[in-house]
């Protein structure tokens, strides 16, 4: 067996490449600047993967959104878990848009997105999106889903955080942390906290409403396991005819919801109007669909007690709930 030449050795150390439908795709790419990251994302467009983009730890300051299109089995992660790797918007656009495909964000922080109606941090459409040990925080939107906005597909959070995101509107706002439309959402060992909704208007005939500061889901499904939703607050304020708030932690419409081994505290509704005021469900607003709640705790929410629930058209099944220090099991009917 002869010795290999220098040239042959260098070729073996290059990134692995594979041909897909006439295109050459690098299975592992590396980036240490925004420009390199943009180029790597462009390289995996419309590919089936698996692909990995490995980021050097540091701050990646975006001047426009990163758009991932139909990237199958793509993982974006830092090359070290000991340092922070941050994708930071400049509040002139969302941070990340994902259209189709399957994408995993691992060990990242995403912040500073804004100036959009939906999805200040992340907008995902018809995609399979997974967050692992990732934090989405301090993003804003002018309508819904300041942290994460998803339509179709799936959203999975594992040991991740969605915190301090804010959606605001002069009429109607929903889903400050997460907004999910026709999406199958799964949270495991994660936290959705300190997110807020603001609906504010100064008009004599004005009407405002806001729902779901932590999570708002319509259609699809929602599963929450071993997670915490705390400090999510909804504000609806007007000098006009009516103001309505609901579901500070979780608000759903025609969605089956399952919650287990989870904690809800300091979630609250705050409603002010010169006319009609509606304050419904400081923790859960379940419109149609269903809610199954098992081995969980609700405390220090505003308003508290049974006013933590608002469930028109939905049956709520409760097993072993600690509700403001009292044990409760039973069924709540519409």
Parse the chain into domains and list their residue ranges. 17-162, 165-334
- 106: nearest Cα among 83, 81, 71: 81
Mean pLDDT of the chain: 92
Residue scoring higher pLDDT (286 or 201): 286
Residue 21 has pLDDT above 80, yes or no: no
How much is the average pLDDT of 284-290? 98
Task: Return the H-helix or E-strand segment holding 222.
Answer: strand 221-225
How much is the average pLDDT of 49-78? 96
Residue 325 has pLDDT above 60, yes or no: yes
17-162 to CATH, choices 2.160.20.10, 2.60.260.20, 1.10.1740.10, 2.30.30.100: 2.160.20.10
Residue 6 has pLDDT above 90, yes or no: no
Helices (H), the chain: 6-12, 34-43
Give the length of the chain: 334
Residue with tokens 């109606």: 117
User: What pLDDT was estimated at residue 316?
Assistant: 98
User: What pLDDT was estimated at residue 18?
Assistant: 43
Residue 84 region by backbone torsions, left for phi larger than 0, else alpha for psi between -120 and 50, else beta: beta
Residue 83 has pLDDT above 90, yes or no: no
Say how far residue 151 (Cα) sits from the centre of its chain: 11
Which pLDDT band, with edges at 50, 70 and 90, does 22 fall under? very low
Residue 17 has pLDDT above 50, yes or no: no
Q: Specify the 3-state DSSP secondary structure of 142.
A: coil
CA pseudo-torsion sign 136, 139, 145, 151: negative
- 171: nearest Cα among 196, 145, 198: 198
How much is the average pLDDT of 57-69? 96
Which pLDDT band, with edges at 50, 70 and 90, does 26 fall under? low
**76 close to 38: Cβ distance less than 8 angstroms:** no
String of b and e for 121-144 (b: at least 16 CB within 10 Å)?
A: bbbbbbbbbbbbbbbbbbbbbbbb
What is the Cα Rg of the chain in Å? 22
Which pLDDT band, with edges at 50, 70 and 90, does 272 fall under? very high
The model's pTM: 0.91
- 68: nearest Cα among 10, 163, 153: 153
C-beta atoms surrounding 43 within 10 Å? 16
Residue 193 has pLDDT above 60, yes or no: yes
> Is 263 exposed, middle or buried, given 0-12, 13-18 or 19+ CB atoms closer than 10 A?
middle
How much is the average pLDDT of 53-68? 96
- 199: nearest Cα among 236, 246, 146: 236
Residue 1 has pLDDT above 50, yes or no: no
Which pLDDT band, with edges at 50, 70 and 90, does 7 fall under? very low
């Amino acid at each position: 067996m002869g010795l290999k030449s220098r040239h042959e050795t260098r070729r073996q150390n290059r990134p692995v490449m594979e041909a897909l439908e006439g295109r050459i795709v690098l299975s592992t790419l590396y980036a240490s600047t925004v420009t390199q990251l943009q180029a790597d994302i462009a390289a995996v467009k419309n590919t089936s993967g698996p692909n990995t983009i490995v980021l050097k730890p540091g701050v990646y300051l975006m001047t426009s959104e990163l758009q991932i299109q139909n990237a199958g089995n793509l993982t974006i992660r830092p090359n070290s878990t000991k340092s922070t790797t941050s994708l930071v918007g400049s509040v002139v656009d969302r941070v990340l848009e994902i259209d189709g495909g399957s994408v995993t964000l691992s060990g990242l922080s995403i912040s500073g997105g804004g100036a959009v109606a939906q999805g200040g941090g992340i907008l995902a459409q018809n995609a399979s999106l997974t967050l692992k040990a990732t934090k989405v925080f301090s993003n804003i939107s002018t309508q819904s889903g300041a942290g994460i906005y998803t339509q179709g597909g799936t959203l999975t959070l594992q040991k991740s955080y969605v915190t301090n995101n804010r959606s605001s509107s002069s009429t109607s706002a929903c889903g400050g942390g997460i907004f999910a439309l026709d999406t199958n959402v799964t949270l495991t060992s994660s936290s959705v906290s300190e997110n807020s909704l603001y609906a504010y208007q100064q008009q004599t005939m004005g009407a405002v409403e806001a729902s779901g500061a932590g999570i708002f889901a319509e259609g699809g499904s929602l599963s929450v396991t071993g997670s915490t939703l705390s400090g999510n607050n909804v504000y609806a304020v007007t000098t006009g005819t009516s103001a309505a708030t609901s579901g500070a932690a979780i608000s759903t419409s025609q969605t089956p919801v399952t919650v287990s081994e989870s904690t809800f505290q300091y979630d609250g509704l705050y409603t002010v109007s010169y006319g009609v005021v509606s304050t419904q469900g400081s923790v859960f607003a379940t419109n149609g669909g269903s809610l199954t709640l098992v081995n969980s705790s609700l405390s220090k929410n505003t308003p508290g007690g049974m006013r933590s629930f608002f469930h028109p058209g939905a049956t709520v099944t409760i097993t072993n709930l600690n509700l403001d220090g009292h044990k409760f099991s039973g069924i709540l009917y519409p």
